[in-house]
A = this chain, B = another copy of it.
Amino acid sequence: MTALKLAIDRSSAVPLYHQVVRGIEAAIRNGDLSAGSRLDNEIDLAAQMNLSRPTMRKAMDELVRSGLLVRRRGVGTQVVSNEVRRSPEITSLFEDLQEAGGIPTSEVLAFSREPAYGTVAESLHTPPGTYVYHSFRLRRVDGRPLALMENWIREDAVELSEALLSSRGLYEILRAAGVNLRLAHQRIGARIADDAEADRLDIAPGSALVTMLRVAIDDKGRSVELGRHLYRADSHSFEMTLVNR
């Protein structure tokens, strides 16, 4: 039953409910709210911060969805656990690696502008024969090979070049071009590396690879990017938190 004093700034451009979300996240992170501790009820919390109950509730909805809080009707609201992470968001490998403190680099093995047919055209929802960018890159972290990444990108979303792809992550380039990705559909599996792949990733032939196929869709509903990536299984796995209801 922690008293939880959060500073709400009504003159800020940040929505009030979002300030509450950030505040509670911070309180959990720095230990003011410990795992398992109970919060005051919604109405009191709202009153304490001079907010309406719906605004308070909207903030708590978000925290429940992201897995930080658990609510039980008739009982109350608790902090779940320090260890449970946030819901998965659409992030690029480049950014994930940077956040983890590594130095990612990209070597562009091939880059072209070419007509899309078959699966590629279907995935990007373009008429067969539409020109798209096609890239094939080797991603290293701190100099060690980690992933082979093949991508197809719609031409009408962004202007790409080999030089650009060598220096920055694809998602960073897309964002800079005003493309807001909203949805990504992924399929994660596994297979054995062939000799060429093993050679490029610096592993023994026959080693295991994690495979990912992804289609990313922007806020205008366009299927902007198709990616077919191969990761060294000894260096990469996918983590996610699923939330029910």
- B-binding residues in A (CB < 8 A): 36, 54, 65, 67, 70, 72, 78, 80-81, 83-85, 88-90, 125, 180-192, 206-211, 217, 219-221, 223, 233, 236-245
Q: Using Cβ atoms and an 8 Å threshold, which residues of chain B touch A191?
A: 190, 208, 233
Check A242–B189 contact: CB distance below 8 A.
Answer: no
Check B217–A182 contact: CB distance below 8 A.
Answer: no
Check B233–A70 contact: CB distance below 8 A.
Answer: no
- Given the interface pairs A36-B221, A81-B217, A233-B191, the reply to whether A185 lies near B241 with Cβ below 8 Å is yes
Check A182–B233 contact: CB distance below 8 A.
Answer: no
Quick one: which of B182, B190, B236 contacts A244, CB cutoff 8 A?
A: B182
Q: Using Cβ atoms and an 8 Å threshold, which residues of chain B touch A242?
A: 88-90, 183-186
6 A-B residue contacts at CB 8 Å? A72-B220, A83-B185, A84-B183, A183-B242, A189-B210, A190-B191
Check A219–B72 contact: CB distance below 8 A.
Answer: yes
Quick one: which of B70, B180, B188 contacts A188, CB cutoff 8 A?
A: B188
Check B186–A239 contact: CB distance below 8 A.
Answer: yes
Check A190–B217 contact: CB distance below 8 A.
Answer: no
- Give complex CA distance A207, B191 in Å: 8
- Given the interface pairs A210-B189, A240-B240, the reply to whether A221 lies near B183 with Cβ below 8 Å is no
Quick one: which of B125, B183, B192 contacts A241, CB cutoff 8 A?
A: B183
- Give complex CA distance A182, B67 in Å: 9
Having A83-B185, A90-B242, A90-B244, one finds 5 other A-B pairs with CB under 8 Å, namely: A84-B183, A183-B243, A186-B239, A190-B190, A211-B237
Closest B residue to A89 by beta carbon equals B244
7 closest Cβ pairs, A-B complex:
A189-B237, A190-B190, A190-B233, A190-B208, A190-B210, A184-B242, A188-B238
Check B183–A67 contact: CB distance below 8 A.
Answer: yes
Q: Using Cβ atoms and an 8 Å threshold, which residues of chain B touch A217?
A: 80-81, 84
